[in-house]
Chain A
Amino acid sequence: MLGKLFQFKGGVRLPYHKEISTTLAVETADIPRRLVLPMSQHIGSPAKPVVESGQYVLKGEKIAQADGYVSAPVHAPTSGLIEDIGDYPLPHPSGMLAQCIVIKPDGKDEWITLTGHSGDYKQLDPSLLRNMIRSAGIVGLGGAGFPTAIKHNPGPDRTINTLILNGAECEPYITCDDMLMQDKAREIICGLLITKHALQAKHCVIAIEDNKPQAISRMQQAVDEFGNSQIEVAVIPTLYPAGSEKQLIFTITGKEIPSNGLPFHIGVVCQNIGTTAAVYRAINHGEPLISRYVTITGDVKQPRNLEVLFGTSVNDLIEQCGGSTADIQRLIIGGAMMGFAMQQTDIPVIKTTNCILVDAGQSKDLQKHKYTMPCIRCGSCADVCPINLLPQNLYWFSKAQELDRIQEYDIFDCIECGCCDYVCPSQIPLVQYYRFAKSEIWKREREQEKSDNARKRHEFHLFRIERDKAEKAEKLRLKKEALKLKEKAKEKGADDKAKSTIKETAPKNAAILAAVARAKAKKEQQKIKPKNTDDLTESQQKLVKEIDERRAKQRNIKSTGDKRKPDEKE
């Protein structure tokens, strides 16, 4: 089974500061006065509310349904009244507002009737398991928030050889997975077995960085209790970003996920510890995903982990941890390497919120940006890049906005782990440059798409005009022809049956006849000169004559002009 581990390229050793939030046991956070639940707590389309303002909901009741395949429902984290459905700030780097359901808890915390499957999960069909996981609103709790049911459905032709449980937790400060493994090792193993069954995976590896000895021993103990030889604990070296999916899969299997591919393309699925525990709660107890472990750390008086209901404000949590040690200067959602700083603290905890890192100017390692020096091409960035990119060149090209060149240097393989930035002696905010380049490329592609669509629309518009014109002309021609034939039939058909038989048998002849008739009719018309000029004065007659001459002349010019320049008709 698990042979040796593979060492991924690059990576950095960091100050972890994990010990500060692991001294206190995990407690359940208080139910706040108000819960703000964003409809978008996952990757994919936002959920659609199925409740109305003023409605009473029970704990665990579905308040929003998945909208499309890549989406996830949202459930009420506690019982209470729906106070509002409207736009509130999201925990998102842009600080954008989006639709949220606001619940005013009634304090009773009353559950809906839960129907879990306490029997043998192996009796259940994998697709049924997936449905249960999907309707429980489970998404990846590691940070990305990809709907778990989709991950559990790699397709009928795929075989999953290895299911990796990601307990690496390589980001500084974050300890929620560590604490969860210590507290709920059995639940995690149960969830792992369910996931294994859902995926029909051959074997499972629980990967934990070696700086979490307690979690390792608890998990090992739980694995031994279950006595399943297809599950093992892999202790991996502590090296950031060991917990990144690409690096973790390489560490365990020695294989690389193809660029633009997904882990299941190489027979691997990677799942977070917390997600796995949620899978167990959903299947065995029928509980939807309504809370999670969150690390509140940094410059707070009592850094710790709390089990937090989704929708709880970050402010409330900081308060529950004794408040910040000084005025808050920066609030980071996530870890110190990949977490994003928010401009305000009144934002809710959502499914993907693993850590709230408070900076009140006392954590020396949390850097303020200094004066940026020019790149000296020292290559330290390339040494630590776990994707084996050339960050110095990516920087150069993004600065110069050479968007084609930067794609040749595989900017879209960059995972934004921040290793290059961390070691850069010139203190260049490299990741920011890469994000800028990526968004510029996306913008350009969107614009390209837009202009392509506009061009297509215009071309179709022209085509339609031409087509309509042609159709009209054709219709007119047919109409005229029909009219002529009718007239002729009237004229000649009655007394001359022989001719009409020719007409019937030989349409070609008929056409000739029609043409002859037309010519005749024209001549006839020209002969009859309808003029109301019989009793005009001399001067009037002269005027009429002049006009006639001018008209004739013009007609002449026009016809010769037409011959010369057929393109300039109009």
Chain B
Amino acid sequence: MNYVIIFLLISGLVFFTGGSIGILRLPDFYTRLHPAGKLDTAGQFFTMSAIALFVLQDFSLANFLTATKIVLIVIFVYITSPTATHAIVDAGMRAGLKPWTKEGQL
């Protein structure tokens, strides 16, 4: 059981690492939203499920309620993270921000 938890935790941290490097290195505002929207959500899912499994190892009612709250946080993030990403893209489109192209021209 511990190996499953460690595997989920490390895979979530790998997703977080990829998202952070993508935010740092991608050339444009719209392309930077791609790791910010997806990889943070995936990393949050894996690390939160690892922590919920670790909490559920000694089973009692209080630990079950704590794991339920962690699952609720994951469901909340799965609803709100695409909404926030869409709101930022909408703000960029309305402000007239041009997408990046390879030659530096449109």
Q: Do A and B come from one complex?
A: no
Chain A residues with CB under 8 Å of chain B are none
Residues in B lying within 8 Å of A, measured CB to CB: none
